[in-house]
Amino acid sequence: MSNGGKGQASTLPSLRDGPLPPLQAGEGYGRVSKELPPSLAGEGGGGGSAATLPETRESDEPTPAAALLAARRVVLKIGSALLVADDGEIRRAWLDALVDDVARCRGRGQELIIVSSGAIAVGRRHLGLRGRALRLEEQQAAAATGQIRLAHAYQEALARHRITVAQILLTPDDTEERRRHLNARATFAQLLALGAVPVVNENDTIATAEIRFGDNDRLAARVAQMTSADMLVLLSDIDGLYTADPRADGAARHIPLVREIAPEIEAMAGAAPPGYSSGGMVTKLAAARIALNAGCHMLIAEGDPRGGPGFRSPLAAIEAGARATLFLPDGEPRSARKTWIAATVNPAGALIVDDGAVRALRGGKSLLPAGIVAVEGAFERGDCVIVRTRAGGEAGRGLSAYSSADIRCIAGHKSGEIAAILGYRGRDEIIHRDDLVVTERR
């Protein structure tokens, strides 16, 4: 995160979303026998079905192409089945086409973060572990071997466009535990500010339960949440959500637009296809729930479109009008994050600030240590605190970048003095403006 209140939008604290409830008997990619609810919208595809869908898309409804083009920060999730062939080799031509998409998006000012599966699928080939189910320790060994090859493949592909790649390994715990969350989001912000493309994978070498679920869909959603992304794109072997499994039901119809993840939507999920892919529509809907709660749009799109020369790369295909399912949030990332901050019931402490700091906060600035005159309570970095005026009124609420003990040491000092006082260089702001909600108006 850059200093002086000029950084990128910061993040929504982790919502700790769990997986969707288990599907009951008769659910999954089963037939939908009743009229679809208002949470579904848009034109269906394919043959007839017991479900009733509108036959046309309303002109004012957003399209996948428009939503993708409007996004400022995009998280792109790539599954193993797309990136790795059945023989365990990385599909270099497909990766090159994807990187062309990334370069084009960056050229128009968008920021890209890639969440990539595939380490285990690549590593098992080199360790002679193909053709059978792997034990946990074998999966971890395969991940350790495959990850270095995967990172090198991304480095080579992005180098064609003179793009620097950075590797980040995460587990879901890294997005939920406060200090890990804060450190990770700061790293993402700095890498994006420096023009790098972060490539994220689950840290499978130390994961336990997560590795068995292969839940990189949800990990991608949590990365989108952490980085306040506007759009999460899940590239899949299917072009979106259907009323039933289109591989088994020729009458299944495509759902272009989802406004709410209602029970009827959850009932459309099905099992993952066989092979290296360990995701499925269940994990994609779990990811959608996290993304939408964070104010982030989400797309489920075909990762390997085959519609002709203009459809060789997945994002270009979406922009050209290829079919996909768009999930719409109620708000946008910053408003969702700030709504959470403003609604915090039990702030951990309070910062008393001078009149100059109050004016700066109301003018959209960050809270610097020079404006703090007193600290109340004991809290840690990342806790939500109240900002009060000298008269006792509440001026705002925000997420503190320092603990109460450290703030007591640097209160009243300039940001340039922080390192000399604390012995380490933290952020220049006590509360960055992206982590602050002004709650008092006069």
CATH number at residue 397: 2.30.130.10
Give residue 207's pLDDT band: very low, low, confident or very high (50, 70, 90). Answer: low
What percentage of the chain's residues is helix, strand, coil (to nearest 5)? 35, 15, 45
Residues 197 and 308 placed together within one structural domain of the fold: yes
Q: Residue 271, Cα to own-chain centre: how many angstroms?
A: 23
Q: Is the dihedral of CA 261, 265, 267, 272 positive or negative?
A: negative
Question: What mean pLDDT is predicted for residues 210-234?
Answer: 81
Q: How many domains does the chain have?
A: 2
Domain with 65 in it:
40-333
pLDDT at position 164: 97
Q: pLDDT at residue 130 above 70?
A: yes
pLDDT at position 3: 39
Give residue 59's pLDDT band: very low, low, confident or very high (50, 70, 90). Answer: low
Q: Residue 290, Cα to own-chain centre: how many angstroms?
A: 8
Residues 314 and 392 placed together within one structural domain of the fold: no
Which range, 40-44, 47-51, 145-149, 343-347, has the best average confidence (pLDDT)?
145-149
Residues 411 and 352 placed together within one structural domain of the fold: yes
301 bridge partner residues? 235, 324
**Per residue in 306-323, pLDDT tens?**
654 445 699 999 999 999
Q: Three-state SS across 221-272?
A: HHHHHHCCCCEEEEEECCCCEECCCCCCCCCCCEECEECCCCHHHHCCCCCC
Sorted by sequence, the CB contacts under 8 Å of residue 348 that are 6+ apart come out as: 377, 378, 379, 380, 383, 384, 385
Mean pLDDT check: name the lowest of 57-71, 77-91, 178-192, 273-287.
273-287
For residue 364, being part of any structural domain is answered with: yes
Alpha helices, DSSP H, located in 160-204: 172-176, 178-193
Of 114 and 53, the structure prediction assigns the larger pLDDT to 114
Q: pLDDT at residue 46 above 70?
A: no
* Residue at token pair 């620097």: 164
Q: Three-state SS across 309-343?
A: HHHCCHHHHHHCCCCEEEECCCCCHHHHHHHHHHC
Q: pLDDT at residue 43 above 50?
A: no
CA–CA dist 410, 400 (Å, integer): 13
Question: What mean pLDDT is predicted for residues 366-373?
Answer: 97
Residues 320 and 382 placed together within one structural domain of the fold: no
